[in-house]
Amino acid sequence: METSRILKWVTGGIELFLGIPILGGLIIVGTGYLPLQIMLVVHIIALIASIYDKQKKSGNILGIITSVVAYIPIVGMFMHILTGIWLLVEAFGYQREKEI
């Protein structure tokens, strides 16, 4: 299993978790926005892995943008949900390509 695919599954799941209304916001604000900084670093690592594995990069780029924009409360929630879905679709699509 390639590293970039694993990172897409993990980051997609975390993004969806952070996008849960109220709960995600409480976690982010309650920890002093630290999850956004951590996710920025993780998305950069995942982007590097995607480049190395020659896989789609758009989900990780969107994740980097989300980590920067998510300081805006409602916008952040929608961005986390969008990014999470995008990353999981990329990870699932990559898995399907390998099976065919």
pLDDT at res. 73: 86
Total structural domains in the chain? 1
Q: Which of 3, 17, 5 is nearest to 85 (CA)?
A: 17
| pLDDT average, residue stretch 52-73 | 93
| pLDDT average, residue stretch 39-57 | 94
State in Å, rounded, how far the first CA of the chain is from the last one. Answer: 15
Over pLDDT 70: what percentage of the chain? 92
Domain extent, residue 46, equals: 3-99
CB of 34 within 8 A of CB of 61? no
| pLDDT average, residue stretch 33-52 | 95
Of the pLDDT bands very low, low, confident and very high (cuts 50, 70, 90), residue 78 is very high
Give the up-direction half-sphere exposure of residue 14: CA atoms within 13 A in the CB hemisphere.
19
CB atoms within 10 A of CB 9: 17
CB atoms within 10 A of CB 100: 4
98, pLDDT greater than 90: no
Mean pLDDT of the residues in the chain: 91
Rounded Cα distance, 6 and 94, in Å: 11
